[in-house]
Amino acid sequence: MKSGNHEISEIHPGIFRIPLPLPGDKPDHVNAYLFKGKHPLLFDTGMNRTFPDLCAAFKHLNMEFSDLGQIILSHGHFDHYGAAASILKHAGKPIPVLAHPDAVLMLAKGNGLGLTQNELLQFLKQTGLPLWLRIPVVLIAHVFNTFAGKIKTDVFMAKGDTLLAGDYPCQLIETPGHCKGLVCLYLPGQHLFFSSDHILPYLPHSDPFLFHFNGIKERFNQIEFFESLGRVADLKPCRIFPGHGDEIQDMDNVIRRYRTEYKKKDEKIIRALVHGPCSVYEIVKKIFPKVLNVRMGFPIYIALSEVYTHLQVLVRDSRVSRDDRNRVIRYLIHPDH
């Protein structure tokens, strides 16, 4: 049976991939994974708007929401948890919802981007993004908020927790980086890894779905991301099932590409600073000019957050200096470089 443009498939005995449509053409769907068997478990849910598609998929797989023993939400982005509130409402009985403690607040607030409006505005101001371009970003954040129902998680995960997913022992793996509070599932006996947005099969030119800003506490998402990648590589999974797209079998290759692209982007940012100090927005204008021409809120936000998270590391490594004296932060090549 098809869900959106993609087939529901049994990827391993008793484990089903349910692709659910998303707005826009990239990525065109998000994957929820259903583990049938003795301990039925759903990993991610899609948006609240595609709840009817999820209902149809459950029907096709002879499952009721009330059969679920638990739901795991990989992280606080609308496309992964948006339908959880509707599932609980329709199940007619309480179902434990698990999430990482760092994701709990985002899930409870129902913020599609994982940021409050104040955090978003503060970020946009300090990047120097002009007001007329801030509007589409704030608007899209509002739209995303409507794609997810607020959800209270009642069970929190701890590092190394194991549980039963369907008929398989399963480990929860913390993989912050793409955002805080991101968790993946690993089935050690089968060497299957469910990577959510941590490892994706494609690498869009600006990695638009990889990272997001969390500057308030000055976390280093890029550093966390590569540390998390290292931890996954150590597990040596044979098959990876991502949150978007098809199965990945060449994980080493994907990780290599991530590392090369990261370095290339660092160099582009440094080159953008050769002629003098720039704000994050001015750097985006130089290295992702197309993103600004299209004037779509989400790509602008992603480009800004990506440049910002690269700069955080460049500043930490003393390759770039940061001038905080004004409201718009400006960056310049470190005098020793």
Position 100 contacts Zn ion (CB under 5 A): no
Q: Which residues pair with 185 in a beta bridge?
A: 172, 194
Quick one: 197 or 266, whose CB is closer to Zn ion? 197
Provide, rounded to whole angstroms, the least separation between the CB of residue 80 and Zn ion: 6
Provide, rounded to whole angstroms, the least separation between the CB of residue 24 and Zn ion: 14
Provide, rounded to whole angstroms, the least separation between the CB of residue 30 and Zn ion: 9
Quick one: 178 or 330, whose CB is closer to Zn ion? 178
Residues 186-215 touching Zn ion, rule: CB under 5 A, are 197
Evaluate whether 168 touches 161 at the Cβ level (below 8 Å).
Answer: no
CB atoms within 10 A of CB 324: 9
Quick one: 237 or 242, whose CB is closer to Zn ion? 242
Evaluate whether 204 touches 157 at the Cβ level (below 8 Å).
Answer: no
Helix (H) or strand (E) holding 18: strand 15-21
By beta carbon distance, the residue nearest Zn ion is 77
Helix (H, G, I), strand (E, B) or coil at 241: strand
Quick one: 30 or 314, whose CB is closer to Zn ion? 30
Quick one: 30 or 307, whose CB is closer to Zn ion? 30
Provide, rounded to whole angstroms, the least separation between the CB of residue 75 and Zn ion: 6
Identified binder of Zn ion from the candidate list 17, 29, 77, 180, rule CB under 5 A: 77
User: Of how many residues is the chain composed?
Assistant: 337
Ordered strands of the 330-333 beta sheet: 278-279, 330-333, 320-323
The count of residues interacting with Zn ion (CB under 5 A) is 2
Quick one: 17 or 198, whose CB is closer to Zn ion? 198
CB atoms within 10 A of CB 228: 20
Provide, rounded to whole angstroms, the least separation between the CB of residue 120 and Zn ion: 16
Q: Quick one: which segment of 69-77, 104-112, 165-173, 250-258 binds Zn ion (CB under 5 A)?
A: 69-77
Quick one: 182 or 278, whose CB is closer to Zn ion? 182
Q: What is the 3-state secondary structure (H, E, C) of 72-87?
A: ECCCCCHHHHCCHHHH
Provide, rounded to whole angstroms, the least separation between the CB of residue 220 and Zn ion: 18
Binding letters toward Zn ion, positions 162-191, x by CB under 5 A = ------------------------------
Q: Quick one: which segment of 70-78, 86-94, 99-107, 248-256 binds Zn ion (CB under 5 A)?
A: 70-78
Name the token pair of 97.
């919802």
Q: What per-residue string of b and e applies to 119-157 under the rule 16 or more CB within 10 Å gives b?
A: bbebbbebbbbeeebbebbeebbeebbebbbebebeeeb
CB atoms within 10 A of CB 226: 17
Provide, rounded to whole angstroms, the least separation between the CB of residue 182 and Zn ion: 7
Residues that bind Zn ion (CB under 5 A): 77, 197
